[in-house]
Amino acid sequence: MTETIKGSVVLITGATGAIAKALIAELKARGAAKIYAAARDVSGLSASQGFVPIKMDVTSDAEVAAAAKAAGDVTLLINNAGINHNTAFMVAPDLAIAREEIEINYLAPLRVTKAFAPALIKNKGAVLNLLTILARVNLPFMGSYCASKAAGLSLTQGLRGELTPKGVRVAAALPGAIDTRMTAMLSIPKMTTADAAKEILNGFEAGEEEIYVGEMARGLAQGLAHDPKGVERQLASPG
Ligand SMILES: NC(=O)c1ccc[n+]([C@@H]2O[C@H](COP(=O)([O-])OP(=O)(O)OC[C@H]3O[C@@H](n4cnc5c(N)ncnc54)[C@H](OP(=O)(O)O)[C@@H]3O)[C@@H](O)[C@H]2O)c1
């Protein structure tokens, strides 16, 4: 099962995003042999030695199937694409936001992992899902995002149960706040994308199944272990 980055063949979804760019730089620094950069808009990505842009909207069965056909040598799939509408359940006018978050944060990594599973099984590879510490406890002002990531955490556990016996490792990163457009409206301490990428890949290479990224995530995980109701109440009335 893939545990080291050196020599790996990686496909990362949402490759034009801020965390993805930092992960790609760190993957290169650690000696990844090839990186498939999958994005719905590849116009800003240019191919180079070991770097292969690939058009893939994660909501499209056809594009995901075509990418899986083109990238049969993948040993590490990173499900990174995600959206956060930063919306509370009662504020949303209807179900459109919740539906889109579930579509991209839960159904899409399921679709992509199903499509790449035959290659990952053949190559004894790994899956790394980009979740959030908020997959483990709901922050109500972005409640529907948290619910979709909680579904992503359950997906990760189920995939681990199904794929580990077939030689595929399944891990998840659960970061706290990272400084990207997704958190632009939050005035709280945020990690840099470069530090987050290093911590994610350090945890992956250390063989961790749940990788808590940053002090905020580690603090909340510790709180959840000792006083889960206290953490729930703290997030329900922050500040
Ligand atoms: N920032 C944080 O504090 C934080 C914390 C914990 C976890 N995360 C997770 O980390 C991941 C990356 O987030 P980020 O902060 O780097 O945000 P970002 O800069 O907004 O990147 C998100 C990426 O997902 C892509 N994407 C969205 N819908 C897609 C679709 N249908 N098909 C293909 N790609 C799609 C976006 O593509 P376009 O550029 O085309 O829109 C973008 O490249 C997400 O899963 C997020 O939930 C972020």
Examine the pLDDT at 237 and tell me if it is beyond 80: yes
Distance in angstroms (rounded) separating the CA atoms of residues 117 and 180: 30
**Atom of ligand 1 at shortest range from CA of 190:** 3
133 CA closest ligand 1 atom index: 6
Residue 73 has pLDDT above 80, yes or no: yes
**What are the φ/ψ torsions at residue 231 (nearest 5 degrees)?**
-65, -40
Separation of 7 CA from ligand 1 center, angstroms?
26
Ligand 1 pocket, Cβ-based, cut-off 6 angstroms: 13-14, 16-20, 39-41, 57-59, 80-84, 104, 130, 132, 175, 177-178, 180-183
- Residue 147 sits at φ, ψ, to 5 deg, of -60, -40
Q: Render pLDDT for 155-196 as a digit per residue (tens, 0 to 9).
A: 999 999 999 999 999 999 999 999 999 999 888 999 999 999
Does 2 have pLDDT greater than 80? no
Give dist(CA 126, CA 196) in Å, integer: 20
Q: How many Å lie between the centroid of ligand 1 and the Cα of residue 69? A: 24
Instruction: Give the 3-state DSSP-derived string for 152-184, with helices as H, strands as E and coil as C.
Output: HHHHHHHHHHHHHHHCCEEEEEEECCECCHHHC
Give yes or no for residue 3 having a pLDDT over 70.
yes
Superfamily holding 9-236: NAD(P)-binding Rossmann-like Domain (3.40.50.720)
Mean pLDDT of 133-144: 97
User: What residue ranges do the domains of the chain occupy?
Assistant: 9-236
DSSP state of 107: I
Q: Specify the ligand 1 atom closest to the Cα of 21.
A: 16
The Cα–Cα gap between 192 and 207 comes to 23
